[in-house]
Amino acid sequence: VMRLTKPTLFTNIPVTCEEKDLPGDLFNQLMRDDPSTVNGAEILMLGEMLTLPQNFGNIFLGETFSSYISVHNDSNQVVKDILVKADLQTSSQRLNLSASNAAVAELKPDCCIDDVIHHEVKEIGTHILVCAVSYTTQGGEKMYFRKFFKFQVLKPLDVKTKFYNAESDLSSVTDEVFLEAQIQNITTSPMFMEKVSLEPSIMYNVTELNSVSQAGECVSTFGSRAYLQPMDTRQYLYCLKPKKEFAEKAGIIKGVTVIGKLDIVWKTNLGERGRLQTSQLQRMAPGYGDVRLSLEAIPDTVNLEEPFHITCKITNCSSERTMDLVLEMCNTNSIHWCGISGRQLGKLNPSSSLCLALTLLSSVQGLQSISGLRLTDTFLKRTYEYDDIAQVCVVSSTIQVES
């Protein structure tokens, strides 16, 4: 049994010196005469020749394992009904890799039966290639033997994911979810990252944020070279938005939801390809309780001690219970609400919402946090507090210029 892998480029260690040194031009001439060096670039370690694999090498998850199996008749007799079977035993299953399960009628002396097997490795850990051969001698005796070849499958990439929740300005139930995928090359050789994409679940649409538009063309944020050196890490960013049919139903995207899975394709030396797909990524949606309050509109900058307006949206996240809400506005040290506190908002049906325009002013300059809203459900006598809803920059309405 021999593993089939692509060769590697031959490397040498250049030894050179200046012409005024004692060896003179001797070292440079030796490198020029070396057939393994590149003509005109002899001091480069990389040569023009290819080197056949000297050992079994490393096998990584997502790569294709290929092996050449040869059964040779070393005897001086003809054997019959030769059956060669190749199985791959993993920690969880046993796979048959033989291209054909049909027996060969006869095998003459000094002849062989050859087979090439392929398998996309999908598990890490110990793998055992079991090669079994059965045949019948000229005397009619049935013979059988097996050989075992053990190898380890290593992990090529370390993938970590983070979720960031962002509320949309247009609708409080169509929240955007940002997914950051950190991918680290934990092998000993560089990788060419051919594709890193996110396949969303049926609930979401995805937008990749890994390129920018320059002169009407999309340019990767990683530059023109998509190589990932050993132990280097890249961060990929994706934006997911719930589809309209799911976003309109506030209760569906609550709790744990399936976001999708990452599809990663890379190439190593001489174009050897590997592919990994993560398991389904799950995201815990932020809990808003029974009532959710979000901002629909708010200015970025306001003047000191001048009223400004914000628009809030109140959503009944309950799927069964109607609420009767009362709004209270509590002033803070810097934020002062304008209007009547304790006013009735009326009944709010399950999974429905209402928009509310409010007026307030700030008595302190700088970045101020909007706080102090209270919603009370008169049916259950339950009060919901909303602080640090948003931040607004407060500046002086007069600018003094020093002469």
Same domain as 358, residue 263: no
pLDDT digits (tens, 9 = 90+) for 63-78: 998 988 999 999 888 9
β-pair partners for 79:
107
For residues 188 and 77, what is the distance between their CA atoms, to the nearest angstrom?
48
pLDDT band at 244 (very low <50, low <70, confident <90, very high): confident
Q: 189 lies in a domain? A: yes
List the structure tokens of 110. Answer: 């000094």
β-pair partners for 2:
68
CB atoms closer than 10 angstroms to residue 375: 20
Asked if 370 and 343 touch (Cβ cutoff 8 Å), the reply is no
Q: 164 lies in a domain? A: yes
Last residue of a domain, one of 284, 313, 347: 284
Q: 403 lies in a domain? A: no
Q: 402 lies in a domain? A: no
Last residue of a domain, one of 261, 284, 307: 284
Same domain as 324, residue 253: no
Q: Is the pLDDT of residue 171 over 50?
A: no
pLDDT band at 167 (very low <50, low <70, confident <90, very high): low
CA-nearest of 183, 138, 178, 142 to 159 is: 183
CATH, residue 222: 2.60.40.1230
| Domains in the chain, number | 4
Q: 400 lies in a domain? A: no
Paired sense of beta strands 256-267 and 353-362, if any: unpaired
List the structure tokens of 189. Answer: 């050789």
Q: 363 lies in a domain? A: yes
What is the pLDDT at residue 268?
86
| Cα→Cα distances 32→22, 51, 237, 251, Å | 19, 20, 49, 74
For residues 70 and 76, what is the distance between their CA atoms, to the nearest angstrom?
18
pLDDT digits (tens, 9 = 90+) for 306-354: 999 999 999 887 778 889 999 999 999 999 999 989 989 989 988 788 9
pTM of the model: 0.63
Single-letter amino acid code for the residue at 125: G
Which residues, 6+ apart, have CB-to-CB distance to 208 below 8 Å?
A: 197, 198, 236, 237, 238
* Domain encompassing residue 200: 157-284
Which residues, 6+ apart, have CB-to-CB distance to 102 below 8 Å?
A: none
Last residue of a domain, one of 55, 83, 99: 55
pLDDT band at 129 (very low <50, low <70, confident <90, very high): very high
Same domain as 114, residue 97: yes
Same domain as 279, residue 240: yes
Same domain as 252, residue 171: yes
Residue that is written with structure tokens 């040290």 in the block: 333
What is the pLDDT at residue 130?
93
CATH, residue 132: 2.60.40.10
Q: 7 lies in a domain? A: yes
Same domain as 302, residue 384: yes
* DSSP string of 269-319, one letter each residue: GGG-EEEEEPPPEEEEPPP--SEEEEEEE--SEEETT--EEEEEEEEE--S
CA-nearest of 228, 204, 167 to 280 is: 204
CA-nearest of 149, 148, 93 to 121 is: 93
List the structure tokens of 235. Answer: 């961060």
DSSP state of 168: -
What is the pLDDT at residue 401?
35
Average pLDDT over residues 226-247: 86
Q: 333 lies in a domain? A: yes
pLDDT digits (tens, 9 = 90+) for 255-310: 557 889 999 999 987 788 899 999 888 876 665 568 888 888 899 899 999 999 99
